[in-house]
Amino acid sequence: MCGITGVFILNQNSSPWLDSLLSANNSLIKRGPDAGNIWKNDRVGLAHRRLSIIDTSDAANQPMFDQTNRYSIIFNGEIFNYLELKAQLINKGIVFQTNSDTEVLLQLYIHDKENFLNKLNGFFAFAIYDSINESIFIARDRLGVKPIYFFKDETVLVFASEMKALDCFPIKREIDPLSMSLYFQHNFIPQPATIYKNIKQLLPGHYIELKNSSFEEKCFYKIPFKKKEEIVPNDYSTACKKFENLLEASVKRRMISDVPLGAFLSGGIDSSIIVALASRFTNKLKTFSIGFRDEVFFDETHFAKLVADKFNTEHTVFSLTSKDLLDEFFSALDYFDEPFADSSALLQFILSKQTRKHVTVALSGDGADEIFGGYMKHVGEYKIRNAGIIEKTIGNFDFLLNRLPQSRNNKLTTLFRRLNKLSGALQLNVKERYRFLSSIGSAEYVNNLLLDKWKANKENINKTENNWLNYLETEKDMNEVLLADVKFVLPNDMLYKVDRMSMANSLEVRSPFLDYEVVDFAFSLSADYKIKGNKRKIIVQDTFKNILPIDLYNRPKKGFEVPLLKWFRSDLKPYIAELTNQKFIIEQGIFNLKEIQKLKQQIDSINPGDSTAKMWAIIVFQHWWKKHSPNFN
């Protein structure tokens, strides 16, 4: 796991760009604290920060060159099947100088060019420079676990693992109103867009090749999705066994490491499964959980301990108070280079920070919800498609639901909030419904929130949203909803959050559910094996029910959440006042003051609803704005 930065000069003075390479590389030091190296000539510069995981010797430092010095590589990620691929290359007569997966990656490119990408099992973002052809090749893993940002005009191509590195180069920065609108609707900015008009992200499963001034971006991986009528149903018990074998193999692959390795253990089904499988390959697996001493509703450490005891892990609980979370508030927000408002990022930051004191690599259960249908919105969607009496009549009680107290702070108000959301989705078509169930703020809310200068064209919003909404073709197949989640929610929210917060603490996180063989298998299954009625992730739960503590199955699912409502009414109230005071809002010229005031009033009301999530998005944006606006060109 590392950080990479590169410059490729096309037709101008290289000095301002190449001279910025050192500061850009240093900005990524938390992604790679173990080594930092730069190579450059008068046209190309490659920089690398290293977090040593496999072959920790200096010989495996980067940029790495082949024996002829024609090819060089900078690489962020891990190739879990590199030993198998290395053996194939050795059989072809190739001699290796290191024990690293980086050298295997470089040799594969030399011999197979872009055709080698589908041989890789792992996560990655890398760049390879060919000094003879004067070309550069940049690729990103299938599902978007590892990021890559880039800026290109007629004079230069610049790329990096994080935008903070690009901030070091002389790039003009102009905020994109389209990204603003999408951010306040979804609480994140969907790729390939960023907060800036001229900086993009390389999409998951894509590569870039720049050669002879020809710039091409191509897709090398698509989930082999079959329509409902094309799926040949597997016997359920056979499917469960195959799933167990695939996931076990994925876990085993992800335990390869030359540094200490552990696992997150939240007490939920997904992380518990990963711990159960990892325990088959090691004694005394180190596991880590977060607990909340003063927030019982959010605490799940009892369930984590049941799993730790059953599998005899070396378990550590980080027992936190609200003060502990607030103490890390600014550190977490400061690491984001653009607005990102999933509040659970704060917990991910603390969990990563504390875990890093014990290990360098952690396994996680991320990805199962998107792939196998684990969210409440999936239940809502299923119930609308298979409406019973309750679903058919609930829309008639809008007048009552709108008056009931709604929040995320306890069981009852959470139930009312979900019922109200379900009611609002009933009359929408499949695409409108997905947008509604996946949004924090409606298009109307965003339109009222932003002043005219910052409102995106509705046609542009629809065009962008169709990048994932077009996967929804019918009302008949829930797999289409899950595919949209893998393209939309997974890379833009879950993976973005985990990468940034873990890398802020120099911790590598590996997610066995996101092995492409597991993902491909999941989308070969009937949706009925995943979600039906009130049951979610059916095959995930059933496959491992005989080895997990039964108590894990007899409780409601909780999200990885923080007590925002309590904070907004107490500890964070002064900070909200500072970021949303009338003078600042008017001078800033972005927000409608009346909408901000309305939101603040709703937070203090008996019915806060989703106002906490909306206010969190505003706080995050304002914090980012204050930090970055002096640097806008």
Closest Cα partner for 541 from 359, 330, 276? 276
Closest Cα partner for 631 from 313, 173, 297, 262? 173
Helix (H) or strand (E) holding 246: helix 236-253
Percent of the chain with pLDDT over 90: 74
Q: Please state the rounded mean pLDDT for residues 66-83.
A: 97
Q: What is the pLDDT of residue 399?
A: 47
Closest Cα partner for 450 from 609, 320, 614, 299? 614
Eight-state DSSP code of residue 613: H
Calpha distance 132→136 (Å, rounded): 11
- pTM of the predicted model as reported, rounded to 2 decimal places: 0.93
Which range has highest mean pLDDT (194-208, 310-324, 473-487, 561-575)?
Answer: 194-208
More confident: 564 or 630: 564
Contact 163, 148 (CB under 8 A): no
Q: Please state the rounded mean pLDDT for residues 340-352.
A: 95
Q: What's the mean per-residue pLDDT of the chain? A: 91
Q: What is the pLDDT of residue 562?
A: 75
Calpha distance 424→421 (Å, rounded): 5
Closest Cα partner for 160 from 26, 333, 53? 26
Helix (H) or strand (E) holding 251: helix 236-253
Tens digits of residue pLDDT in 16-71 = 899 999 999 999 999 999 999 999 998 999 999 999 999 999 999 999 999 999 99
State the CB neighbour count (10 A cutoff) for residue 581: 12
Predicted confidence (pLDDT) at residue 288 exceeds the cutoff of 90: yes
Q: At what angle do helices 430-437 and 411-425 cross, to 10 degrees?
A: 150
Closest Cα partner for 54 from 74, 18, 79? 79
Task: Annotate 198-222 with DSSP letters as a single string.
Answer: T-EEPPTTEEEEEETTEEEEEE---
Calpha distance 128→114 (Å, rounded): 11
In one letter, which amino acid is 486? V
Calpha distance 28→504 (Å, rounded): 9
Distance in Å from the first CA to the final CA of the chain: 32
Looking from the CA of 226 toward its CB, the CA atoms found within 13 Å total: 15
- Of 92-96, 231-235, 358-362, 493-497, the range with the lowest mean pLDDT is 231-235
Band of residue 409 on the pLDDT scale cut at 50, 70, 90: low
Q: Which segments of 394-442 does DSSP mark as H helices, in order?
A: 398-401, 411-425, 430-437
Band of residue 488 on the pLDDT scale cut at 50, 70, 90: very high
Calpha distance 189→30 (Å, rounded): 23
Q: Residue 127 to residues 4, 285, 286, 468: CA-CA distances in angstroms?
A: 8, 34, 34, 27
Predicted confidence (pLDDT) at residue 298 exceeds the cutoff of 60: yes
User: What order do you get walking across the sheet with 261-264 strand by strand?
Assistant: 314-320, 286-292, 261-264, 361-363, 508-510
Q: Please state the rounded mean pLDDT for residues 451-471.
A: 91
What is the three-class DSSP state of 582? helix
Tens digits of residue pLDDT in 507-522 = 999 999 999 999 999 9
Band of residue 458 on the pLDDT scale cut at 50, 70, 90: confident
Predicted confidence (pLDDT) at residue 405 exceeds the cutoff of 60: no
What is Dmax (Cα atoms) for the chain?
Answer: 75
Q: Please state the rounded mean pLDDT for residues 350-355.
A: 97
Q: At what angle do helices 101-112 and 82-91 cross, to 10 degrees?
A: 50
Domains of the chain in start order, with CATH, are: 2-175+194-219 (3.60.20.10), 228-371+479-553 (3.40.50.620), 563-633 (no CATH)
Contact 507, 360 (CB under 8 A): yes
Predicted confidence (pLDDT) at residue 1 exceeds the cutoff of 60: yes
